[in-house]
């Protein structure tokens, strides 16, 4: 996740400044930690350390700035702490453990605070408001509840990553962005938020990922999000959003938008093909090598240069199944408008089902409720005996880790039944391979 380069100081066995013992199959905290009074950097990630974090570990050094205990089997702390043990801490990573109680909020010096994928219960402490320099905040996939503190809007000048997915938060979503916001990722999906979408999101000019899916939001389509220049992923599925989607000249205007999921809402009206023709990503994609969507930053705790990389992730419905993407390939493209109340005629040039590549992997059930469709794999033949080709100018997929994809236009398969279904997934095979 990060790259370390030492810029000053010498380390000895009895006076260690940097100790990296990740992926060493440790079952206990190592004895070498005793009497380390100048330890700045401690990495014990990806081991089998289990049980509680002992008191003596918490008191090893007041100069510690980076602590990484992620991907272990830790259950908590063996003492009740009043003050946080590392007053100069800048990075705390406790992801993927078995913590049940929320750790003490780090000191105001904290830049990175990651406690995702635990079993933490309770509410977020109001002391979180002291972290005015926080860059990355991830508490996703826990059992947290309550209302989000409104002070989160004060972080937008520094906070880049906000991931609270998969908890039990309720109430309204606070106004998260002010002018000059540095937010790149906001994921509040799979909670119980209600009310309207905060209009302050239009201030997130650097926003790349916005995921508010699987909540109880009740609002019209956010036309005011269209002009965001860097938006790549917009997921609003499974809410109570309603009304017409709007004009294609103002909606989906973001030049980098590649993933759109507004399924399982109550949107109505017609959906003309001008929407898809306006999207930049359907014109041409030229990728050299396999890259993932991520946010990166650099900071220098105690004279050490750190490049921190946070890969974007999401959950979408792919071929009828909920699929988790812990990383998103740059060339991945997906559109899902299913389970809404769109109406109107389907253009004749897409009645026939396209052939080739990903389309040939779908079975009959993928087209249920769409009586106007014809061609393979359906038994209904099209009037034109010629199969409808997949309108992609060229696709080249190499068998190693490098690939190149180029396409001039994608015609998106549209279904018409109880709801309009549009789904095209490009790059799924490559993602699974990686």
Cβ neighbours around 3 below 10 Å, total: 10
Beta bridge partners of 267: 243
- Both 171 and 238 in a single domain? yes
Count CB neighbours of 62 within 10 A. Answer: 13
Q: The domain spanning residue 116 has which CATH number?
A: 3.80.10.10
Q: Is residue 323 part of a domain?
A: yes
Q: Are residues 208 and 305 in the same domain?
A: yes
Per-residue confidence band for 417, with pLDDT thresholds at 50, 70 and 90: very low
Supply φ then ψ for residue 121, to 5 degrees: -115, 170
Residue 262 lies in a domain: yes
Task: Kindly state whether residues 287 and 405 are assigned to the same domain.
Answer: no
Q: State whether 132 and 214 are in the same domain.
A: yes
305 & 401 share domain: no
Is residue 429 classed as helix, strand or coil in its secondary structure? helix
Long-range contacts of 214-218 (CB under 8 A, 24+ apart): 214/189, 214/190, 214/238, 214/239, 215/188, 215/189, 215/190, 215/191, 215/239, 216/192, 216/240, 217/173, 217/193, 217/241, 218/194, 218/242
Task: Identify the domain boundary among 336, 365, 387.
Answer: 336
The strand pair at 294-299 and 304-311 is best described as: antiparallel
Same domain, yes or no: 260 and 390: no
User: 369 vs 263, 345, 372, 416, 417, CA distance in Å?
Assistant: 16, 15, 9, 7, 5
Q: State the residue range of the domain holding 239.
A: 2-336
Please check whether residue 344 lies inside any domain of the structure: no
DSSP per position, 12-36 = BTTB-SEEE-TTS--SS--GGGTT-
Are residues 275 and 212 both part of a single domain? yes
Reply yes or no on whether the pLDDT at 38 is more than 80.
yes
> Comparing 111-120, 179-188, 341-350, 398-407, which segment has the lowest mean pLDDT?
398-407
pTM attached to this predicted model: 0.80
Tell me, yes or no, whether 342 lies in a domain.
no
State the average pLDDT over residues 124-132.
88
Decide if 223 is inside a domain.
yes
Across-strand partners of 426?
Answer: 333
pLDDT category at 399 given cuts 50, 70, 90 is very low
Biggest CA pair distance of the chain: 82
Q: Give how many domains the chain has, as a whole number.
A: 2
Q: How confident is the model at residue 291 (pLDDT cuts 50, 70, 90)?
A: confident
- Looking at the fold, whether 354 and 330 belong to one and the same domain comes out as no
**Which residue among 272, 303, 336 closes a domain?**
336
Average pLDDT over residues 107-135: 92
Among 336, 369, 392, which residue terminates a domain?
A: 336
Among 8-12, 192-196, 218-222, where is mean pLDDT lowest? Answer: 8-12
Same-domain check for residues 183 and 277: yes
Do 314 and 359 lie in a common domain? no
Residues 212, 89 share a domain: yes
Cα gap 74→94, rounded to integer Å: 9
296 and 270 co-located in one domain: yes
Q: Is 341 inside a domain boundary?
A: no
Which tokens is 248 given? 């294609």
Average pLDDT, the chain: 78
Q: Tell me whether residue 269 is in a domain.
A: yes
Query: Of the candidates 292, 231, 282, which has an alpha carbon nearest to the alpha carbon of residue 406?
Result: 282
211, β-bridge pairs: 187, 235
Percent of the chain predicted with pLDDT > 70: 75
Residue 53 pLDDT exceeds 60:
yes
pLDDT band for 247, please (50, 70, 90 cuts): low
Over residues 123-149, the mean pLDDT reads 92
> Does the pLDDT of residue 239 top 90, yes or no?
yes
Residue 273 has pLDDT above 80, yes or no: no
What pLDDT is stored for residue 419 in this prediction?
37
Residue 311 falls inside a structural domain: yes
The least confident of 49-58, 91-100, 224-233, 315-324 is: 315-324
pLDDT at 388: 46
């Amino acid at each position: 996740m990060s790259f370390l380069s030492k810029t000053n100081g010498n380390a000895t066995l009895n006076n260690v400044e940097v100790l990296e013992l990740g992926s060493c199959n440790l079952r206990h905290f190592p004895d070498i930690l005793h009497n380390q009074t100048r330890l700045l950097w401690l990495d014990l990630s990806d081991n089998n350390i289990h049980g509680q974090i002992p008191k003596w570990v918490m008191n090893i050094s007041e100069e510690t700035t980076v602590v990484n205990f992620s991907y272990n089997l830790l259950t908590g702390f063996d003492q009740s702490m009043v003050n946080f043990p590392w007053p100069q801490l800048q990075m705390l990573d406790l992801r993927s453990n078995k913590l049940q109680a929320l750790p003490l909020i780090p000191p105001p010096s904290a830049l990175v605070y990651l406690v995702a994928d635990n079993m933490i219960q309770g509410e977020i402490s109001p002391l979180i408001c002291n972290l005015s320099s926080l860059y990355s905040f991830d508490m996703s996939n826990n059992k947290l509840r309550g209302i989000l503190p409104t002070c989160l809007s004060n972080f937008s000048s520094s906070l880049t990553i906000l991931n609270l997915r998969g908890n039990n938060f309720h109430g309204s979503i606070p106004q998260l962005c002010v002018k000059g916001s540095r937010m790149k990722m906001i994921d509040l999906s799979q909670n119980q938020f209600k009310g309207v979408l905060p209009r302050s999101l239009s201030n997130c000019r650097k926003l790349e990922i916005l995921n508010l899916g699987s909540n109880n939001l009740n609002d019209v389509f956010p036309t005011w999000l269209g002009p965001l220049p860097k938006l790549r992923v917009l997921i609003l599925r499974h809410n109570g959003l309603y009304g017409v989607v709007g004009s294609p000249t103002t909606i989906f205007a973001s030049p980098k938008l590649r993933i759109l999921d507004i399924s399982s809402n109550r949107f109505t009206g017609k959906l003309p093909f001008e929407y898809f023709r306006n999207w930049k990503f359907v014109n041409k994609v030229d990728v050299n090598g396999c890259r993932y969507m991520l946010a990166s930053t650099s900071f220098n705790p105690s004279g050490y240069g750190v490049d921190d990389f946070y890969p974007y992730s999401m959950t979408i419905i792919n071929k009828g199944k909920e699929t988790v993407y812990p990383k998103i390939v740059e060339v991945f493209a997906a559109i899902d408008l299913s389970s809404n109340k769109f109406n109107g005629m389907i253009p004749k040039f897409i009645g026939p089902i396209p052939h080739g590549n990903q389309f040939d992997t779908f079975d009959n059930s993928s087209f249920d409720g769409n009586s106007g469709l014809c061609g393979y794999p359906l038994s209904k033949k099209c009037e034109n005996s010629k199969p409808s080709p997949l309108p992609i100018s060229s696709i080249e997929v190499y068998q190693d880790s490098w690939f190149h994809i180029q396409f001039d236009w994608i015609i998106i398969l549209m279904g018409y039944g109880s709801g309009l279904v549009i789904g095209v997934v490009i790059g799924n095979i490559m993602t699974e391979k990686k």
